[in-house]
């Protein structure tokens, strides 16, 4: 598929990233998953920055390459194919944090708070989710009030990838309580070490052990007015703008982990002998392989469609959400079916299959649950239907 739907330049880029991942990341992938593995992630960030893999989404004036989302899904797939934890942290920094800065930051903000992230010298994070707020961002309780040349930030955020490790954070808060939260939400750049900002804890996760997903607290944090991103009360448009690129990027990432799970299952099925033949000869096994391969190819196509649309500046909420949902359910299904092919040995730590299965389970929760994705997709479908009806009436 790559030779047909990706350009020659994109295919060369994929091969370059794949070789880098196999040489620089694969040998330390198991160590990244250990308790002190984040130190290795920081080292990997610098290497990723040096190679330009943190800047494909970003303009050249801040050190990026401006290659676009089509290249981002390639980076995500290839890095996640060897280390899901590393790519989750990379995605949270360069995309989830980086895109709001890219699209809405001032020249000064982008040079100070985005350029070092693209180089891999600093790490970013985005703070939306709260203890009582998930998909319903209108319930956001974090507040910021203006006092002189500062905003005073109070509240909590949780499940924040890179939260305790990030040097810079893009934090959403309500600045106007007299209007609907979506009209009174603003976005701030918060620096690690600002008085009153604390990382309460890092969560112990079911999978992705190398990542740091944190509970953060803000108590009377003084944020300079220069750190307001965009304009006051413009936070919700910033949040919505970020989500389409995020979900497309997540789809690319999930394809990488699923691809490796399939590769392990294929190889094992050609080596494991039962009843005097390799298990690859049994339809109970090889039909699973067929289904896994089919779903991965379809997921890659959906991610590419959304990426192409975003790169052309087209609205892609439906396409990005479809790509994310399908890739997430594919990642879960493929990892579990691949584990089934391995049988008992797959459930042990002799193979990394159990890790891929645990890692994949986050897919239908983070970045928009499967349920909220389905809600968004049907909403977009009905919008399109109503728009067609209106156009038809005008023609009549």
Under the banding of pLDDT at 50, 70 and 90, the label for residue 134 is confident
In whole angstroms, give the CA distance from residue 155 to residue 185. Answer: 14
Do 347 and 354 touch, CB atoms closer than 8 A?
Answer: yes
126-233, CATH topology level: Butyryl-CoA Dehydrogenase, subunit A; domain 2 (2.40.110)
Q: What is the pLDDT of residue 2?
A: 57
**CATH code of domain 237-395:** 1.20.140.10
Q: What is the pLDDT of residue 77?
A: 98
Q: What is the mean pLDDT of residues 190-212?
A: 97
- Tell me whether the CATH fold assigned to 2-122 matches the one assigned to 237-395: no
- Exactly one of 72, 246, 329, 354 is catalytic; name it: 246
Residue among 284, 250, 288 at smallest CA distance from 266? 288
Do 204 and 214 touch, CB atoms closer than 8 A?
Answer: no
CA distances from 100 to 69, 104, 166 (A): 14, 6, 16
Do 358 and 206 touch, CB atoms closer than 8 A?
Answer: yes
Q: What is the pLDDT of residue 394?
A: 84
Over residues 56-108, the pLDDT tens digits come to: 999 999 999 999 999 999 999 999 999 999 999 999 999 999 999 999 999 99
In whole angstroms, give the CA distance from residue 173 to residue 169. Answer: 12
Superfamily classification of domain 2-122: Acyl-CoA dehydrogenase/oxidase, N-terminal domain (1.10.540.10)
Residue for token pair 């339809």: 283
The domain segmentation of the chain, as residue ranges, is 2-122, 126-233, 237-395
Q: What is the pLDDT of residue 396?
A: 73
Strands 124-127 and 168-174, bridge-based pairing: parallel
246 noted as active-site residue: yes
pLDDT score of 197 more than 80: yes
- Which residue stretches of 92-171 are H helix? 98-104, 107-109, 115-119
pLDDT score of 39 more than 90: yes
In whole angstroms, give the CA distance from residue 257 to residue 385. Answer: 35
Q: What is the pLDDT of residue 25?
A: 98
Q: What is the pLDDT of residue 393?
A: 86
Q: What is the pLDDT of residue 105?
A: 97
Burial 247-262 (b: 16+ CB within 10 A, else e): bbbbbbbbbbbbbbbb
């Amino acid at each position: 598929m790559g030779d047909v739907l990706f350009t020659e330049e994109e295919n060369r880029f994929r091969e370059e990233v794949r070789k880098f991942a196999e040489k620089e990341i694969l040998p330390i992938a198991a160590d990244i998953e250990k308790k002190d593995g984040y130190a290795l992630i920081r080292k990997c960030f610098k290497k990723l920055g040096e190679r330009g893999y943190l800047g494909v989404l970003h303009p050249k004036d801040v050190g990026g390459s401006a290659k676009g989302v089509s290249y981002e899904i390639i980076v995500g797939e290839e890095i996640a194919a060897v280390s899901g934890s590393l790519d989750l942290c990379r995605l949270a920094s360069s995309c989830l944090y980086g895109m709001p800065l890219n699209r809405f930051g001032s020249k000064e903000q982008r040079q100070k708070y985005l350029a070092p992230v693209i180089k891999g010298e600093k790490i970013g994070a985005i703070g939306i989710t709260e203890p009582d707020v998930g998909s319903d961002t209108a319930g956001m309780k974090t507040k910021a009030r203006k006092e002189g040349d500062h905003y005073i930030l109070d509240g909590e955020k949780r499940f924040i990838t890179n939260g305790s490790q990030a040097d810079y954070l893009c934090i959403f808060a309500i600045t106007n309580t007299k209007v609907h939260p979506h009209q009174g939400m603003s976005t701030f750049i918060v620096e690690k070490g600002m008085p009153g900002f604390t990382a309460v804890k890092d969560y112990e996760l079911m999978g992705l052990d190398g990542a740091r997903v944190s509970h953060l607290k803000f108590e009377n944090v003084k944020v300079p007015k220069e750190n307001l991103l965009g304009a006051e009360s413009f936070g919700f448009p910033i949040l919505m703008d970020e989500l389409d690129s995020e979900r497309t990027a997540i789809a690319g990432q999930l394809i990488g982990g699923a691809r490796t799970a399939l590769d392990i299952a294929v190889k094992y099925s050609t080596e494991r002998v039962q009843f005097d033949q390799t298990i690859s000869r049994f339809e109970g096994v090889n039909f699973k392989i067929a289904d896994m391969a089919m779903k991965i190819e379809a997921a890659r196509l959906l991610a590419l469609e959304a990426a192409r649309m975003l790169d052309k500046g087209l609205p892609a909420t439906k396409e990005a959400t479809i790509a994310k949902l399908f890739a997430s359910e594919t990642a879960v299904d493929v990892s579990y079916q691949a584990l089934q092919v391995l049988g008992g040995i797959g459930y042990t730590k002799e193979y990394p299959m159990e890790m891929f299965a645990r890692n994949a389970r986050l897919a239908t929760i983070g970045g928009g649950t499967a349920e909220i994705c389905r809600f968004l997709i049907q909403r977009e479908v009905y919008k399109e239907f109503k728009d067609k009806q209106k156009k038809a009436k005008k023609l009549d």
